[in-house]
Amino acid sequence: MDALPYVDSLIREYMLFRGFVSSLEAFSRDLEADPGCGLQADRIADLVFRKLLPGLDCQALVALLEHLNGVLYSRLDSRAEPLVAAVEADLLRAFLVAAASAGRTDKVAEFFKLYGPQLLSSSSSSAGWAGGGEGGGGSPDWRDWFVL
């Protein structure tokens, strides 16, 4: 955490150099409101559950999960991998449930068009429920999520 002030100063310098004044002001306000100078899990949860899921923004949700996977989850102990995969799969399922509940079949189709091949090729727990034709590709968990 000792490097955070240095990184913050680099970000400020870059924003000034590029002329991003309003972004710099917003960044400064966020820094003042950041009591711990670190990861704010409650803010990430608010972003996911108050903006991304209700707004049905699948691209932003997947981008956030990929970003967290690259900068946070990759640094965790390997024992946390099943938990991370379960959380990611549950968030993707929550997106699909929110889209289906809102009657937005276009969002469900967009989700599978953009991320279906990635889900099917992954070794995560999402591959079992994400597809595989009739019966969810033989996954016994398929019926727990999609009962016809």
Determine the pLDDT at residue 129: 52
Q: At what angle do helices 81-101 and 58-71 cross, to 10 degrees?
A: 170
pLDDT tens track for 117-140: 877 766 554 455 555 444 444 555
Query: Which residue's structure tokens are 């999520």?
Result: 145
Q: In this model, does residue 143 exceed pLDDT 80?
A: no
**CA-to-CA distance for 134 and 21, rounded, in angstroms?**
54
- Tell me which residue of 37, 36, 33, 35 sits closest to 8, measured CA to CA: 37
Average pLDDT score, the chain: 79
Q: Any residues with CB less than 8 A from the CB of 71 and at least 6 apart, and which?
A: none
Q: Which residue has the higher pLDDT, 90 or 3?
A: 90
Residues 100-112 as b/e (b if ≥16 CB within 10 A, e otherwise) read: eeeeeeebbeebb
**CA-to-CA distance for 9 and 37, rounded, in angstroms?**
13
Determine the pLDDT at residue 20: 92
pTM: 0.62
What three-state secondary structure class fits 40?
coil
- Please report the sign of the dihedral spanned by the C-alpha atoms of residue 115, residue 118, residue 119, residue 120: positive
CA distances to 27, 36, 59, 77, 136 from 128, in Å:
41, 39, 21, 24, 6
Tokens describing residue 58: 């699948």
pLDDT tens track for 41-74: 778 888 999 999 999 999 999 998 888 888 778 7
